[in-house]
Each structure stands twice: as C-alpha cells, then as structure tokens.
Amino acid sequence: METPRSGAITLEVVLRFVDIATDALADAREEIDALNVYPVPDGDTGTNMYLTVSAARDAVREATGGDGAVGPAADLGTALAAFSRGALLGARGNSGVILSEMLGAIVRRIAHADPGERNAQVMADALRRATDASYAAVGTPVEGTMLTVTRAASEAAAEVAKDSTARARDVFTAAAAAAREALAHTPEQLPALRAAGVVDAGGRGVSVILDAAETVLTGRRPTPVTAPFGSHHIPVPVTATEGDLTPGGPSYEVMYLLDADDAAMPALRTTLSALGDSLVVVGGEGLWNVHVHVDDVGAAIEAGIAAGRPHRVRVTHFAEQIAAARSRTAARDGRAVVAVAAGPGLASLFEEAGAVVVHGGPGRRPSTGQLLEAITSCGASEVIVLPNDHDSVRVAQIAASTAEADSDGAVRVAVIPTQAQVTGLAAVAVHEPGRSFDQDVLEMTATARHARQGAVTVAAKQAMTMAGPCEPGDALGVIAGDFAVVGDDLYAVAVEVLDRLLGGGGELVTIVAGAEDAEGSLATRCAGYVEEHHPAVDVVVYDGGQERYPLLMAVE
C-alpha cells in the first residue's frame, strides 16, 4: 500500500509540468485554433490556452528563481500560489478563463493536502474540484465542451483512486485516457461541432494538458486520439442544443480583471447574465477575471464598477475584428527588428541599431503576449525577431506564427534563434533593410551562428556542473550556454573563457559589462588582456547593465 503522501507532488514536479504543458500547448496551438468553431469561430482557442498556461509558467519561474531552477527561497507553496495567480492574470478568452479556474482549483487542493492523505486521492479530488469549479464559473454550462472532457477525466480519476494501491501516475493516466475518449464524442453533443466535423477545441486543450501531466509522472508521451479537422465521423444522431450562444448572439467580447469582495460576485453574475452570454467569472480572495459576450459594452463595464474596480479592460468586436486586422496590416510597410534586451545598456545598443526593444532577461523573460504586441505594433510588413535567450526562442516562435496567422499573411515574421544577448548584437550589426527579406534573415542568422559566446557569473548554490562541483560564491565561466569553468576569481575565469573562445580564431571580441561591473573595471581588465595576448584581434566594450552576469562575451 502507498504510504501517506509518498510520491507527493513536489516543487520539481511542478517545474517539469509547467514546462512540458506549455511546450505541448505550443505544439498543438495551431491545431486547436483550427478546431475552434464554438462558442465563436474566431480561431484563437489554442492561442488563448497556450498564453494562459505560459503566463502561469512565467509566474512560477519568477517565484522560484527565474530560470525554473530551484532557488534557495523557493518552496512548493510559493510555486503553487504563483502558478494559480499567473494563470488567473494571464487568462485570455473564454477557454483561457475557464482553464485558469480549473488549474486554480487543482492547485488549491494540492496546497491544502494533509500529510496523512494518499497522493492518489488528493489528485483525484483535485480533478473533481477542477470540474466543479469550471461548471460553477460558467453562466450556462454546455456539454460537448472542455467542461465535459474535464468531468470525464475527473470521474475516471476518482474510480482509480478507490484502489488503495493506486498512485498519482495511475490517476493521471486514467484521467488522460478518459479525456481523449470524451473528446472524441464531443461532436455528438454539440451541433456546431457536428456540422464542422471537428472535436471541441477547448476539450482538445484540456486533453493536451492532461497528457502532459501523465508524461511528467510516467515518462511516457501518450498518443492523442483526435480526428483531423473536417473528418470526424458522427455515429450517433445529435439531440443536444447549442446552449446560450446563437448565430444572432452578442457582438462583443468583454474581459476585465476585477478587484472586488467575494460577496459582490453573485450580484455581478446575475447582472452580466442578463446582459449577454458565454459568461465566465473566476478567481477569489479579492481578485477576479471576468469574461462575457454582450451587445452593451458600457453596461458590462458599469456592472464591474458597481462590484469593485475593473482594470485591464479588453473589448473585442467579433464582426469587425477580422476587418480591422486586415485594415491595419494593409497599411504596413518596411522591415523591423524586434530584440529582447536584458539590461538598460543593451536596450540602448539595440535601439541605436534601429530595433524595437522588449525588456527581458533571466528572471523576467518576456511572455508570448509581450513579443506578439511588439511584432504587431511596430507597423512593419516584415519583422525579424531576436529572442537573445535559449528559453525565449520557443516563445518568440509562437508569437511570430500567431502574428502571421492573425494578419492573414500580410505580415512576414522570422525568428533568428539567437541564444545570447551578444549573438543578438552580432546579428543586428549586419541587418540591412535594403536587402531582400530572405537574404537579410540569412545573413543575420549566419552571423549569429558563427559568433562564439560566453559569460561569467557567480554560483548561487551548491551544484554539479560540466566543469565539476561548485559552491555558493564560486566564479563560473559559461561557454555556449554550459558551465565550462569553475574558479574563485571572476577575472581569472573570464580570461580563461576568452582564451577558449579565441582558440578557434577570431577577428573581433565584444565584451558587455553587467550591473555588477557598473564601473566597467572587470570589462576593461579583460579588454586589456585581449589586447596584450591577442594583439591581432579587435576588442570593443559596452555597458550592458544586465543582471546576474557581470560579463557577456562574444568572438566573431
């Protein structure tokens, strides 16, 4: 029999889950968007669910040390709280808001688990609460949606958890399988799905997330059971109704965050329910995320004002959304570079080179939404994105593909997978708008790829690296993203990194001083070392102002 709380959800499991779930939704985003026909066929369910989970991951990373690493002050409770709040604040669209409530319910159950409870029972109960919370959050629950898929998963989990030998992995394996099965039957419940020949988009997103949980706990990657777009065979006649949304329904989607007492929510729900449909209100403890489809936008916002303080208000006109997007993209012209900068000095360097800057870096990496906003607001018909960080490359790729899809092909976006700030500087230095787009991307990519990059930092904790063990306070040398040198002196480690980078030759060394080298003394000493020991190589020094890395270095 499983001992009490053996195999309990740990901080490490949470960190793995947020990464795997986000990446899985990123991979499935376009597929889910294509399935999106209900409640509004606006093709953004996959994007909204991805952005919601991505925001939760970013919040967890920030709370646990920035890079998903377990910092000295990190703990499970901190990570869970950050996960729940991040999902709530980052939720987008009908599906994203419902998903945030599901995730929040699961997190709350895990956080309040008693030490004597079996972990399998905790997780099964967490899924049940996610189901209950999602149904309660929706003004008029409709079957054949993500609600149905979640309920099927929670029922299967509860059945497995009855076995006293069951473990959390068994619970999620059963839940994921039940979700896939329920997803396949969603067209039998919703005429809109049946007519389009697709499964429910939100339900597919839930299935992807449960598959990710199964992968984390078992190491296996389940094979999704879904029908391709436009080819789902319906063996059972449709008898269900479509619920609260009709072809002649409300014209606007209204969303806002709301600071309000919990006691004000029943009246708000009643008011908004009378104004429109697709009502979802989620949150708690004074902070709520409100979503509704209405014709009277002012009345929906006034209802929020009566309940508390609405902020971050977003209004979308369904009928004009596509036309407005086409109008904006039709006026686009020229080419722009969007670059992520990890410090004020680096931001200035990129801006001087003509780039649109998105502030980021370790501990505050930009979200997909931030990069998407930079791409869409720059007004260019051709955009080149420099993420300048390994973990931001995937986020940039999602933002790029979303921008292209939203523009109906009027905007071309290319992501050059720059792994470091210095390789981004090398790429932007050869940017030439006069070239063709493809040729410009090719030249910038080649330059970034050929730039060998390194850095020095200080160890925050005891760890084992590729160069051997390190202790807190040790100087660490980074080469191509890996810890390659361990020492007790930053300067000594820095010159060793420089020698290794220059071992393959080079014509130019770029050294960028960080916030911890504000006077530039370490950077200046290293520049002097290069001039003395590699006299045929040019060297330039910049004030980058980046955190955590006293020096960034590149050799071209």
CB atoms within 10 A of CB 319: 9
Helix 119-137 with 93-111: angle, nearest 10 deg: 140
Residues of the chain with CATH 3.30.70: 254-323
294, 288 Cβ separation under 8 angstroms: no
CA distance 73 to 162: 36
pLDDT at position 507 over 50: yes
Residue 490: predicted pLDDT:
93
Residue 43: predicted pLDDT:
62
Taking residues 64-77, report their average pLDDT: 57
What are the pLDDT digits (tens) for 373-397?
Answer: 899 888 888 999 999 988 788 888 8
Taking residues 437-464, report their average pLDDT: 90
CA distance 98 to 90: 12
Q: How confident is the model at residue 36 (pLDDT cuts 50, 70, 90)?
A: confident
Residue 139: predicted pLDDT:
76
Taking residues 548-555, report their average pLDDT: 91
Residue 8: predicted pLDDT:
62
Helix or strand or coil: residue 292? strand
Strand order, beta sheet including 356-359:
356-359, 335-341, 382-386, 412-415
Sign of CA dihedral 290, 129, 23, 8: positive
CA distance 171 to 409: 43
CA distance 23 to 296: 38
User: Chain-wide mean pLDDT for the chain?
Assistant: 84
Query: HSE of 489 in the Cβ direction (CA atoms, 13 Å)?
Result: 6
Residue 246: predicted pLDDT:
45
Query: HSE of 132 in the Cβ direction (CA atoms, 13 Å)?
Result: 9
Residue 94: predicted pLDDT:
82
b (16+ CB within 10 A) / e for 453-483: bbbbbbbbeeeebebeebeeebbbbbbeeeb
Q: How confident is the model at residue 59 (pLDDT cuts 50, 70, 90)?
A: confident
Residue 420 main-chain phi, psi, to 5 deg: -155, 160
b (16+ CB within 10 A) / e for 220-247: eebebebbeeeebeeeeebeeebbbbee
Distances in Å between the Cα of 554 and the Cα atoms of 427, 449, 542 are 12, 11, 12
User: Which residues, in sequence order, are CB contacts of 37 under 8 Å at separation 6+?
Assistant: 192, 193, 196, 198, 201
Residues of the chain with CATH 3.30.1180.10: 452-555
Taking residues 131-142, report their average pLDDT: 87
- Both tokens of residue 396? 């940039």
Distances in Å between the Cα of 143 and the Cα atoms of 130, 168, 202, 261 are 16, 27, 12, 30
Tell me yes or no: is domain 452-555 CATH 3.40.50.720: no
Helix (H) or strand (E) holding 293: strand 287-294
Q: How confident is the model at residue 151 (pLDDT cuts 50, 70, 90)?
A: very high
Residues of the chain with CATH 1.25.40.340: 11-242
pLDDT at position 72 over 70: no
Q: How confident is the model at residue 505 (pLDDT cuts 50, 70, 90)?
A: confident
Residue 236: predicted pLDDT:
36
- The string of DSSP codes covering 112-173 is T--TTS-HHHHHHHHHHHHHHHHHHHBSS--TTSHHHHHHHHHHHHHHHHTSTT--HHHHHH
What are the pLDDT digits (tens) for 508-549?
Answer: 999 999 988 877 789 999 999 999 999 999 999 999 988 889
What are the pLDDT digits (tens) for 467-486?
Answer: 889 999 999 999 988 899 99
What are the pLDDT digits (tens) for 292-332?
Answer: 888 899 999 999 999 999 998 888 776 665 454 444 444 45
Distances in Å between the Cα of 121 and the Cα atoms of 13, 152, 167, 306, 466 are 17, 17, 8, 41, 40
Q: How confident is the model at residue 193 (pLDDT cuts 50, 70, 90)?
A: confident
- The string of DSSP codes covering 274-290 is HHEEEEEEEEETTEEEE
Tell me yes or no: is domain 11-242 CATH 1.20.120.160: no
Per-range mean pLDDT, top range of 35-39, 65-69, 265-269:
265-269
Residues of the chain with CATH 3.40.50.10440: 332-450
CA distance 67 to 70: 8
CATH number of this structure's domain 254-323, picked from the four choices 3.40.50, 1.20.140, 3.30.70, 3.30.1490: 3.30.70
The domain defined by 332-450 folds into: Rossmann fold (3.40.50)
Taking residues 60-64, report their average pLDDT: 82
What are the pLDDT digits (tens) for 227-278?
Answer: 443 333 333 333 333 334 344 567 788 989 999 998 999 999 899 989 988 8
Residue 402: predicted pLDDT:
84
Higher pLDDT, 526 or 370: 526
Strand order, beta sheet including 308-317:
276-284, 287-294, 252-260, 308-317
- The string of DSSP codes covering 208-249 is HHHHHHHHHHHS--PPP--PPTT-----S------TT--TT-
CB atoms within 10 A of CB 16: 16
Strand 335-341 versus strand 382-386 pairing type: parallel
* Rg from Cα positions in the chain: 26
